[in-house]
Structure 1
Amino acid sequence: MVKKSENIIVGISVGDLNGIGAEVILKTFEDSRMFELCTPVVFANAKIISFLRKNLNIEIHINGIDNLSQVVSGKFNVLNVWKEGVNLEHGKLDDNVGKYAIKSFVEATKALKNGLIDVLVTAPINKYNIQSDEFKFPGHTDYLDKELDGNALMLMVHDKLRVGLLTDHIPVNEVASKISKELIEEKVETIKNTLIKDFKIAKPKIAVLGLNPHSGDNGVIGKEDEEVVKPTLKKLFDNGTMVFGPYSSDSFFGSNMYQNFDAVLAMYHDQGLIPFKTLSFGKGVNYTAGLEKIRTSPDHGTAFEIAGKGMANHDSFKEALYLALDVFANRNEYKELTENPLKVSQN
Structure 2
Amino acid sequence: MKKDEKIIVGISIGDLNGIGAEIVIKSYEDPRSLELNTPVIFASAKTMQFFKNHFNSKINFFSIDSPDKVVHGKVNVVNVWDEAVKIDFGSEDKKIGEYAIKSLEAATKALKEGAIDVLVTAPINKHNIQSEKFNFPGHTDYLAKALNGKSLMFMVSDDLRVGLLTDHVPLKDASNTITKDLIKEKIATVTKSLKHDFGIRKPKIAVLAINPHAGDNGVIGNEDDTVLKPTLEKIKSEGTLVYGPYSADSFFGSSTYKNFDAIIASYHDQGLIPFKTIAFGKGVNYTAGLDKVRTSPDHGTAYEIAGKGIADESSMKQAIVTAIEIFRHREEHNYYSKNPLKKASR
Q: For the superposition of Structure 1 and Structure 2, which TM-score range results when normalised by the shorter chain?
A: over 0.9
Distance between the aligned counterparts of 1:128 and 1:234, measured in 2?
A: 40
Q: Tell me how far apart the structure 2 counterparts of residues 186 and 149 of structure 1 sit (CA, whole Å).
A: 15
Cα distance in structure 1, aligned partners of 2:149 and 2:330: 15
Mapping 1:280-319, distance limit 5 Å: 280-319=279-318
Counterparts of 1:162-311 in structure 2, within 5 Å, are 162-311=161-310
Report the Cα offset of residue 3 of structure 1: 4.8
Q: The residue matched to 2:142 in structure 1 has which SS?
A: helix
Query: What is the aligned partner in structure 2 of residue 44 from structure 1?
Result: 43
The letter of the residue matching 1:161 is L
Q: Specify the code of the residue in structure 2 equivalent to 1:210.
A: A
Q: Aligned letter for 2:20?
A: G
- Amino acid paired to 1:196: K
Mapped contact 1:5–1:36 kept (Cα < 8 A): no
Aligned to 2:117: 118
Aligned residue number for residue 129 of structure 2: 130
Counterpart-to-counterpart distance in 1, 2:4 and 2:120: 19
Deviation at 1:302, TM superposition (A): 0.3
Structure 1 counterpart SS, 2:82: coil
C-alpha distance in 1, partners of 2:206/2:175? 19
**Alpha carbon RMSD of aligned pairs, Å?**
0.9
Aligned pairs, how many? 342
The aligned counterpart of 2:4 is 4
Deviation at 1:5, TM superposition (A): 4.1
- CA distance in structure 2 between the partners assigned to 1:58 and 1:208 by the alignment: 45
Deviation at 1:149, TM superposition (A): 3.3
**Cα deviation per residue 1:109-167 (whole Å; 9 max; x = unaligned)?**
11111111100000000000000111000000000010113310000011020000100
- Summarize the alignment of residues 25-36 of structure 1 with structure 2, pairs less than 5 Å apart: 25-36=24-35
Distance 2:273 2:240 in 1: 27
CA–CA distance in 2 between the matches of 1:203 and 1:131? 41
Secondary structure in 1 matching 2:201: coil
Q: TM-score, normalising length from structure 1? A: 0.97
CA offsets 1:75-127 (integer angstroms, 9 cap, x no match): 00000001111111001111100100011001101111111110000000000
Q: Cα deviations across residues 227-283 of structure 1 (Å, max 9, x unaligned)?
A: 000000000000000000000000100110000000000001000000000111111
> Is there any run of 5+ residues in structure 1 with no aligned partner, and where?
none
Whole-angstrom distance in 2 between the partners of 1:5 and 1:131: 38
**3-state DSSP class of the match of 2:315?**
helix
Structure 2 gaps of 5+ residues are: none
Matched, 1:98 2:94: no
1:69 to partner: Cα distance: 2.5
Deviations 1:163-187 (A, max 9, x none): 0010000100000110100000000
In the alignment, residue 2 of structure 2 is paired with which amino acid?
V
Offset, 1:4: 2.7
Q: Which secondary structure state, in structure 2, belongs to the residue aligned with residue 151 of structure 1?
A: coil
Is 1:342 matched with 2:341?
yes
CA distance in 2, matches of 1:5, 1:275: 37
- The alpha-carbon deviation at position 220 of structure 1 amounts to 1.3
Identity of aligned residues (%): 61
Moved over 6 A (4+): none
* Correspondence 1:123-162 to 2 at 5 A: 123-162=122-161
CA distance in 2, matches of 1:198, 1:68: 25
Distance 2:135 2:150 in 1: 19
State the Cα deviation string for residues 293-331 of structure 1 (Å, max 9, x = none). Answer: 000000000001111110000000000000000001000
Quick one: distance in 1 between partners of 2:120 and 2:126?
Answer: 17
Residue 71 of structure 2 aligns to which amino acid in structure 1?
V
Q: Is 1:58 aligned to 2:57, yes or no? A: yes
Q: Which amino acid aligns with 1:308?
A: G
DSSP 3-state at the match of 2:289: strand
